Each structure stands twice: as structure tokens, then as C-alpha cells.
Amino acid sequence: MDGRLSATNSGSRPGGNRWRRSWGKKVAEGATLVYLDAVGFSLKGVRRRPWSTRVVTPLVSLPANWETPSTTGAITSDGRFFQHTKSGEIRSGNVTRFFQHLLRHVQGGIVVVPDNAGIHRYKATRAFVGLHERLSLVFLPHRTLRC
């Protein structure tokens, strides 16, 4: 490696300590930390039987809506929030467009801290990060957020 933070850094590979020092140094030099996550929503309603004082319980029917909006969101170390919502699943191209948005709106170096979701580790995403010197990825360790 040339000392730059690798887009494939998961923190568990040989030399991981050197990479951690590298992104720590970038942050100390003024790079912005960006914590990124993606979430999907289901808009399908649930049929319920509400309580009634009479013998006949009214039924509430909800229209079936199979849309699944997804949101990619990020919060920066200086408190700014970025969001992109789309219909359907989030794919690698959506992640690279979100990174382009970050590059346009955040000055200086950017250290993005995503979870280990596959969309953040695709070859196209790693290639995009490799093309932009200002952009670095540092993945959270596996199973960090499990309760």
C-alpha cells in the first residue's frame, strides 16, 4: 500500500493498524468524518380490528401499497445531515451518487464510516473511492451494532 486508506479496509487485515493511523491522521489534519447508513421502508398497511362499544366490531381496511422507499443518510462530524430517498432498493450506483453529493457539499478530505453492507463494498463503489483522493472509507467492524 502507498499509505493511503484503502477502500477495502475492514480493520481486520494485516497492516490494519497502519490504515487506522492513516485515517486518524486525516481527521487530525481536518478531514470530515461522515457516518453513513441506509434503510428501507415498507408501506404495506396492517389490517386491524379496532375496539367498539357495540356488538359489531368495525373493520378498517387499508389499501395495499407495495412501494418500498429507501433512504441513504449521513451525518458529519460538524453536525450536517445529508439524505437521499428513492423508490426501490439502494444499489451501488446510488451509493456512488451519494458520494458525489458529499464531494460537492463537503470541503476538504472526507472519511466515510459505513457499516459492512454489501452495497458499500461493491467493486464499483471501491473503484469510485479509488478515483477520488479526498474520499476514504473506514468500515465498522462486523457485528458492531448487534444488541
Q: pLDDT tier at 16 (50, 70, 90 boundaries)?
A: very low
* CATH code assigned at 36: 3.30.420.10
In a domain, 93, yes or no: yes
Sheet holding 81-87, edge to edge: 81-87, 69-76, 32-40, 110-113, 135-137
In a domain, 6, yes or no: no
Q: Which structural domain, as residue segments, surrounds residue 88?
A: 16-42+70-137
In a domain, 1, yes or no: no
If phi over 0 gives left and psi between -120 and 50 gives alpha, with beta otherwise, what is residue 95?
A: alpha
Query: What's the predicted TM-score (pTM) here?
Result: 0.68
Number of domains, the chain = 1
Cβ 4 vs Cβ 15: under 8 Å: no
44 or 94: which leads in pLDDT: 94
Instruction: Give yes or no for residue 124 having a pLDDT over 70.
Output: yes
In a domain, 4, yes or no: no
